[in-house]
Amino acid sequence: MKTISIVTACYNEEENVEELYNRIRAVMAGLGRYLYEHIFIDNCSQDATAKTLKRRADRKRNMGGLFEACERLVPQGVRI
């Protein structure tokens, strides 16, 4: 069976990440012929996105998260 990696970047998506995960899970279950992992990358969200992802990932084998350190993402002197 082939494995698919799904990668989703997030920024302030605390209200959306669980719904997105559930929709992806439903699609993949419908396909049935693939294993998959869903990796969320939190880009220094100011809300509870990281907390929501960590809580969900603790309960699901096929879900993981990467949590960026904000000070490493923006070089000094760069204004956003």
The model's pLDDT over 29-57, given as tens digits with 9 standing for 90+, comes to 999 899 999 988 888 899 999 888 888 87
pLDDT tens, position by position, 70-80 = 655 545 544 44
Sheet of 34-42, strands arranged across? 2-10, 34-42, 63-67
Please check the confidence at residue 27 and state whether its pLDDT lies above 90.
yes
* Residue 14 confidence class, pLDDT cut points 50, 70, 90: very high
Residue spans of the domains in the chain: they are: 2-73
Torsions phi, psi of 29, nearest 5? -65, -35
What is the pLDDT at residue 69? 58
**Right CATH for 2-73 from 3.10.150.10, 3.30.70.100, 3.40.50.1820, 3.90.550.10:** 3.90.550.10
